[in-house]
A = this chain, B = another copy of it.
Amino acid sequence: MSGGVEWALHCCVVLSGAERPVPAQRLAQLHDVSPTYLAKQLQALSRAGIVRSSQGAAGGYALVRDPGEVTVLDVVEAVDGAGPAFVCTEVRQCGPFPAPPRDCARACPIARAMHDAERAWRASLRSVTIADLAGTVADEVPPERLGAALQWLRGPAG
């Protein structure tokens, strides 16, 4: 899993609390990430239809949908891709006793066990939304610090 997932999730939580579009530069400053690295993650989120950018003096990034409708899985898949972590190369069809293709319509039992586990992983990530995360952050972060950060996000670039 790439390090971009941590940043992208933090970014979405921040945007869910922002009252207006946040310039990419501000998002980078807020978490002390390089703007180049940031741009890559924001592009991935943008391609996945999770954020959109607007131009102009008040321009910046914003969530496209309600934060209650964006799941953690959406963000993870936007950044790291939706492909399976376990890839079956059909080793059962190799060697001196290969399974004939007609016996391989169904995935190998080993691949099924691995895919079941990935389904459980995805189901867990799908059960949490950006709004859920933002709610927990609001419960756990002292209101002064949260307020100061949101205030700063609104202010002029500096």
Contacts and interface: CB of A to CB of B under 8 A. Distances in A.
Contacts of A123: 120
A48 interface: no
A110 interface: yes
Contacts of A142: 103
Total identical chains? 2
Contacts of A18: none
Interface range for A: 35 or more
A92 interface: yes
12 contacts: A1-B87, A10-B92, A29-B95, A32-B91, A33-B91, A97-B145, A97-B149, A99-B141, A103-B141, A110-B133, A113-B124, A120-B120
Interface of A: 1, 3, 5-7, 9-10, 13, 29-33, 72, 85-89, 91-92, 94-97, 99, 103, 106, 109-111, 113-114, 116-125, 128, 133, 136-137, 140-142, 145, 148-149, 152
